[in-house]
Structure 1
């Protein structure tokens, strides 16, 4: 249903992922319309998006959709909306999200700044995990409050948008069913003939 007529080359698909040819505004509008049109209650859809936004604040890249779907399932949210909600975390937003998450987590845990000027050398050494672990604890701790706040914002925005869309849709359907078709004549009652 939403497939392209001509498949894109894999490199073009990759480029479209990071820089849509129709522009970011169009891509965001398309994403919101997909969310609004999901079947379900506004609460369930908004809860799914909130779960996705929360999961995208965690440092567990590659598991965001699984985490979001698990949270949405527990909270009885929409699973598809939770997967869509994880797009709140993307290459453009991750640096800002992780900076805030790390600083909040560092404040909560009381950890010192874990910085290494030669990060490439450290990641290639056999002690790479020793550098990542001190950062993982503050990132995980900070993801909880930041994720809750951003998830609540996502919930409110999504719920109001879905409710407005569903009200407009019901109104249009009601107008369509109440308006008689002007070109059709009513059938005569049984027993009467039309002359």
Structure 2
């Protein structure tokens, strides 16, 4: 029903991932409405989204949606919101995330800055020494998981609660207006019948 008539080419889909055709402001607005209108409590939606965002700070590429969904499920959060939350990890943010958790992981593991200088982080180095890259990233990612989760959960829960409340009031106002009009119409018919 909501599918495109003409499928987009692979190049167009890749371009869309890097630069939304709607523009960044409308893209953010779309996700704001999408989250606010999701079924569930503000806790469930915010919890799920926060797990998706936090798992994006780990090096488990390819498993982000699966792990976020499992964690959201066990925490009674929204699994759908957790999938949407993984959007935090995207082509624009991943380079900064990976470099940050790599450096943090090395700091925690006690790798000196001089050792890091001798091994420049490159694709070749990653292929030759995968464990020396993955382990620090995993340690750094797990370390920032809880703070990232909290940074997304608390503001988002409040924002979603406000959004849902305003939406409820708008719907209630429309319902009351329709009821008032129906009463006026019924009253007009009654008066007309008495005459």
Task: Confirm or deny a common fold (TM above 0.5).
Answer: yes
Q: Distance in 1 between matches of 2:120 and 2:34?
A: 43
Matched residue count:
188
- Structure 1, 84-93 or 102-111: larger mean CA deviation: 102-111
CA shift for structure 1 position 21: 1.6
DSSP 3-state at the match of 2:181: coil
Q: 1:24 to 1:2 in 2, by over 3 A?
A: farther
Deviation at 1:176, TM superposition (A): 1.4
Give the Cα–Cα distance (whole angstroms) in 2 for the partners of residues 44 and 65 of structure 1: 16
| Counterpart mapping for 1:1-195 below 5 A | 2-112=2-112, 113=115, 116-117=119-120, 119=122, 121-122=124-125, 128=127, 131-179=129-177, 180-181=180-181, 184-186=185-187, 188=190, 194-195=194-195
What are the Cα deviations for residues 140-191 of structure 1, in whole angstroms up to 9, with x where unaligned?
11112212111111112211221111110111112112221176233649xx
- Report how far residue 24 of structure 1 moved: 1.6
Q: Is the 8 A contact 1:52 1:83 kept in 2?
A: yes
Cα offset for 1:121?
A: 4.7
TM-score, normalised by the number of residues in structure 2: 0.85
Which segment drifts farther, 79-88 or 4-13?
4-13
- For 2:144 and 2:108, locate their aligned partners in 1 and report how far apart those are by CA, in whole Å: 12
1:86 and 1:121 map into 2 onto residues whose CA distance is: 27
Distance 1:184 1:3, change over 3 A: farther
The 2-side partners of 1:69 and 1:140 are apart by 19
Seen in structure 2, the aligned counterparts of structure 1 residues 27 and 80 have a Cα distance that, compared at 3 Å, is same
SS in 2 for 1:181: helix
- Give the structure-1-normalised TM-score: 0.85
Moved more, 167-176 or 39-48: 167-176
SS of equivalent to 1:20: coil
Q: CA RMSD in A?
A: 2.5
List runs of 5+ in structure 2 lacking aligned partners: none
Matched residues in 2 for 1:99 and 1:61: separation?
15
Contact 1:111–1:138 under 8 Å retained in 2: no
User: SS at the partner of 1:77?
Assistant: coil
| Displacement after TM superposition at 1:122 (Å) | 4.8
Query: C-alpha displacement at 1:5, in angstroms?
Result: 4.8
d(CA) in 2 for partners of 1:46 and 1:73?
13
5+ residue gaps, structure 1, are none
